Structure 1
Amino acid sequence: MPTMETNSFNVILLSLAESAIAFYLFPHVFPAGTLTSFFLIFSLVNFGVLGFYILIIYPFFRSPLRHLPQPRRGFWPIIGHGLVMFKRPPGEAHLKMMKDVDNDGVIFFRGFFHTDRLLLTNPATIADVLVHRSYDFEKPQWVRTFLRQFLGDGLLMTEGDEHKHQRKQIMPAFSFRHIKELYPVFWAKSIELCEVTKAELWDKPDKVLEIGHFSTQVTMDIIGLAGLGRDIGSLRNSDDELIKNYEEILEPTAEKAIYFVCHLLFPPSVMHALPWKLNERVKVTTSNLKRICREFVVEKKSRMKVESQESVDILSILIRSNTFSDDGLVDQLLTFLAAGHETTSSAFTWATHLLSIHPEAQARLRTELYENIADPKALSEPSFDIAGLLESLPYLNAVCNETLRLYPTIPVSSRVAIRDTTISGQFIPKGTQSFVVPWAMNRNPKLWGADSEKFRPERWIDAETGRATMNGGADSNYSFLTFLHGPRSCIGEKFARAELRALVAAFVGNFEMQMANPDEKIKVGGTITSKPVQGMRLRLTPVEWGSGGHMAKMG
């Protein structure tokens, strides 16, 4: 079906033609009318007919998708199934659809104003959208407009040929060899996190900390070193400006969730005109972030003129490519600083939660670490193959994989067909929005079994060999969507996985973790990313790195 803008333009043209015909050719039929009054009357009638067609005729009698399986409950006139966008945790309502509706990979439901929406539910349909026909689908325009405020026109926001070009230029920074070289950085910062945490606990009788803030600091420091070639030092500076701005943007509040959804319902011009305090805060924080990134670019270019050897950080690689203007470099930095720290920060926070409520898994992981790492300081030595060691530990990798499965950083994603296309043989009209929901796919019992929503790291370990597996027992790689797949998959997946391994290993080896309140029910919120609504308060007991899994608690 044509877009709303096209339909409105056509209605106006039709109304002009009808009013002119009525006024000039049939004055005896409408003797008292003026050209303006004719136009207003015909516009009112035509828009009424268009509204009736859009709300009733097309979705219920003309849409080629109307015969697909659809949920029986949750539909409201005009609203459709649009309320699923407000349900928390994000993606949970989609998971319920997958469980309740018998389907062959596609579920049809209706959004606001009865617009066609598709939920993709099996590996075949997911593969079509993300891989086989990936350039038939793009992120919705309103999502890109909203995110562009924070991320500029970086890799995440571009589409088509521009995206292919940018990804090709950036890919060398995320090669396997480069990630291996960064492991010592990941480990050094992970150890620094433990030292800072112990210092913070010194004056706290209850030994309780909100781990989310420290998680953000350490991942920002890591992306600073890997992305900019400089130590931002936020772990040692609790008032860091960069951290404050990102924490303000990403804090999961109800107001921000409403603000995000309003951008779906109203055009940017209307949203920006509203006397909403959040509008002003968005302007301030995004302005601050762009200024900081511009300072980083200027500083980096000056340093590169006097550096004796070529740096391998992301910004240096982009500058040497000579394909990005200063504004383009700022856009890429905005993207990598945000996505590069938030992915692992969120995953690490959820890992500490899962291990806190599963003490047996925590103890097993600590035993594995102590048996394989006699001295954590030795991992920092240049000759030590830290990448080979951490990637070879089955239970460490199982815990990380299971965390990423249960708590994907981006729980809900969507794509819009930019031309008529197909998904697994089903005709998809241009403009149809399809939902790819990592939260739901990663927890779908049809793909992961009856215990799909339980934390069970063992699913990632082969029972016969004791080695780590790549699919967690699922039949398809498309059952795990945390990093998506295909040309639009997360370019920093290997980076994030390596970083998470180091952080989890160092932290579990140095602390025994419990929830500050064992009865607390952690609520998952956030607008784009999944974060704990009230933070993650843990009771931490420092332990001395030992061997054989025996913990020696420090006084």
Structure 2
Amino acid sequence: MALWAAGVRVLTRHLGIQPESSAVLLGEIIGSWLVLNALLLGLKTWYRRRYSPFRDIPGPEPGPWLYGHAFDIFDEPLGRRITDWGNAQAYPHGLMHFFGLFGVSYLVPTSPAALAEVLSTRAYDYVKPAGFKRFTRRFWGHGIVSQEQEEHRLHRKTYQAVFNQGNIAQARGPLSTKSRQLVDRIHGLCAPSPSHSAIVPVTQLTARVSLDVTGLIALGVDFETILDRNPQVLEAHEALFAGSRDKRTLFALYNAAPRWLGGLIPLRVARRMDEASRVLRGACRQAIRSRAAVKANGQRLDFVAHLVQQGLYDEEAAISQIMVILGAGYESTGGTLAWILYCLATHPDSQAALRQEVRSRSRPMDESDYEALPLLNAVVLEATRLYPAFSFLLRKTIRATAISGRAIPRGTYVALCPHMVNHARHLWGPDVEAFRPERWVDRSSPAGPKLDATGGASAAVCMLSFFSGARSCVGRALALALMKRQVALLVDHFQLDPVGGTPQASGLFATSPPADLHVRFTQVR
């Protein structure tokens, strides 16, 4: 800008043009600079669209010249437009292409082989966009969500030590305890009714119990929000993670506006999120410091205890990682659990079959039963397939790479769309939109039914709710363990029935159920 101003000043003097005032000169400088940039941007957009190396790759219709499908991909519910495009035609080489803002190209892997390359074989050829990382660092801190390359590899190992199957097995007792607390809470809501039933805000309650569980795993501390304690922790999570139009506007600003501008615009939502982040970090700090000793002694290992034992403990860095863990529990696991309950409420035959399976075991159920019941596991996986917590995530290549033999230049955007993959007819069949837990049950063995780990799809990567490979969800074992216990106990104690119309998914990053999603619970004997 300074060079342009100097150039305009020299040019006016050379041509003998004398501005009437300094204000007029300033206006000329700014106006001409804006016109020049608009022309250059238009030229760049034309060039990108005319000479894109991906023009031969199939995809949706090009869309408006200036912004393409930029608004389609971020429209709510996330991932639905891309899912429609994915099912509209065949993609022979496992790639979809479309244009976004100012002619930027986006590639979407559509085949198991292409997905495996992006998520496993060449996973570290990609990073998250800079705007996403600036946004998450401001409000959550620099945790594993914003970390890349060697830093990501290092901290992923730290997570795996705590979230592995063996350590989660040690936490099965506390998981069942928290699940019973939710059951007791709903019994309390049903008690005053002569019909022994109540309309329950499931999104709110499942978020609470999930937040409590992740607090135990992250900090070794139970926030007890399901018992209406520590309301400031719950309110801070709602302020940070609940989806809203103003938050999406703020996120778009971080991705589209210059870096210096994103932090200067005084949006009210940003101030609310800053305050919520401060409250939550303070609660984490207090919880960490209140523990007199951090030891495992062969028992369940929480995240803070592991950091201390390994000599990796740094309070501020630990809090940033814990913020990620708590957010995943509140938004991802809590939201998915609410969707499972909604699916059961709207499919009474599946609910009755599941109740029969649960009651075929001794009561109370043994902890190992939750892993052994095929229909229980199938119900959880099928609802998770239909409602992936994260429907759309963007990556950008940091070096020249390849997908399905196709050369991909450095700086290319690659969109991962779990919703499209989980709803792809060429991967799951014509009944892909149906809630059909039976697709996950293998009844071919004379020994009895067992879980089909791929749900009848050709590869495990076709179920992308927990991602795959180097970027797979480290909290998968914990999320599944909690959801299976919670679902089994609730179905054993209650009949679930739908309330109202079809809920619309929302959320800032996660595909969360609406806050006003309700289900009627009626006590059953």
Q: Structure 1 length normalisation: TM-score? A: 0.86
Of 358, 369, 376, which residue of structure 2 is paired with 1:369?
358
Counterpart residue number, 1:470: 453
Q: Would the alpha carbon gap of residues 41 and 330 (structure 1) be closer, same or farther in structure 2, given more than 3 Å must change?
A: closer
Of 448, 452, 458, which residue of structure 1 is paired with 2:438?
458
Partner of 1:108: helix, strand, or coil?
A: strand
- Shift of residue 488, structure 1, vs aligned partner: 1.5
The CA distance in 2 between the partners of 1:437 and 1:404, in whole Å, is: 14
- Structure 1 residue identity aligned to 2:278: S
> CA contact under 8 A between 1:523 and 1:534: conserved in structure 2?
no
1:434-470 residue CA offsets vs partner (Å, 9 max, x unmatched): 1100111001111000000110000001131221110
Aligned pair 1:191/2:180, yes or no? yes
- Structure 2 residue identity aligned to 1:90: L
Of 101, 115, 128, which residue of structure 1 is paired with 2:104?
115
1:245-290 residue CA offsets vs partner (Å, 9 max, x unmatched): 1123222333333333333222454344334321221111111111
Q: Which moved more, 1:38-47 or 1:78-87?
A: 38-47
Aligned pair 1:391/2:371, yes or no? yes
- Shift of residue 18, structure 1, vs aligned partner: 8.2
- Structure 2 residue identity aligned to 1:538: V
Counterpart residue number, 1:99: 87
Give the superposed CA RMSD.
2.7
The CA distance in 1 between the partners of 2:407 and 2:56, in whole Å, is: 12
Equivalent residues in 2 for 1:250-399 (5 A)? 250-267=241-258, 269-300=260-291, 302-304=292-294, 312-372=301-361, 374-376=362-364, 379=366, 386=367, 388-399=368-379
The CA distance in 2 between the partners of 1:63 and 1:362, in whole Å, is: 51
- Shift of residue 164, structure 1, vs aligned partner: 1.0
- Structure 2 residue identity aligned to 1:417: T
Q: Would the alpha carbon gap of residues 161 and 86 (structure 1) be closer, same or farther in structure 2, given more than 3 Å must change?
A: closer
Of 211, 214, 235, which residue of structure 2 is paired with 1:220?
211
Counterpart residue number, 1:527: 508
1:492-543 residue CA offsets vs partner (Å, 9 max, x unmatched): 11111111111111111111100123xx121111111112225221111112
- Shift of residue 238, structure 1, vs aligned partner: 5.5
Partner of 1:414: helix, strand, or coil?
A: strand
Counterpart residue number, 1:201: 190
Q: Would the alpha carbon gap of residues 428 and 203 (structure 1) be closer, same or farther in structure 2, given more than 3 Å must change?
A: same
Q: Would the alpha carbon gap of residues 42 and 257 (structure 1) be closer, same or farther in structure 2, given more than 3 Å must change?
A: closer
Of 44, 49, 61, which residue of structure 2 is paired with 1:54?
44
> CA contact under 8 A between 2:167 and 2:300: conserved in structure 1?
no
Gapped runs of 5+ residues in structure 2? 20-24
- Structure 1 residue identity aligned to 2:374: P
Gapped runs of 5+ residues in structure 1? 1-8, 380-385, 544-551
Aligned pair 1:510/2:493, yes or no? yes
Q: Would the alpha carbon gap of residues 264 and 20 (structure 1) be closer, same or farther in structure 2, given more than 3 Å must change?
A: same
Q: Would the alpha carbon gap of residues 523 and 45 (structure 1) be closer, same or farther in structure 2, given more than 3 Å must change?
A: closer
Equivalent residues in 2 for 1:402-413 (5 A)? 402-413=382-393
The CA distance in 1 between the partners of 2:162 and 2:373, in whole Å, is: 25
Q: Would the alpha carbon gap of residues 52 and 236 (structure 1) be closer, same or farther in structure 2, given more than 3 Å must change?
A: closer
Counterpart residue number, 2:394: 414
> CA contact under 8 A between 1:516 and 1:538: conserved in structure 2?
yes
- Shift of residue 366, structure 1, vs aligned partner: 0.4
Counterpart residue number, 1:125: 114
Counterpart residue number, 2:68: 80
> CA contact under 8 A between 2:203 and 2:514: conserved in structure 1?
no
- Shift of residue 299, structure 1, vs aligned partner: 1.9
Equivalent residues in 2 for 1:148-167 (5 A)? 148-167=137-156
Partner of 1:450: helix, strand, or coil?
A: coil
- Shift of residue 210, structure 1, vs aligned partner: 0.5
The CA distance in 2 between the partners of 1:321 and 1:156, in whole Å, is: 22
Aligned pair 1:400/2:380, yes or no? yes
The CA distance in 1 between the partners of 2:268 and 2:409, in whole Å, is: 39
- Structure 1 residue identity aligned to 2:214: I
Q: Would the alpha carbon gap of residues 273 and 309 (structure 1) be closer, same or farther in structure 2, given more than 3 Å must change?
A: same
Q: Would the alpha carbon gap of residues 21 and 319 (structure 1) be closer, same or farther in structure 2, given more than 3 Å must change?
A: same
The CA distance in 2 between the partners of 1:257 and 1:41, in whole Å, is: 30
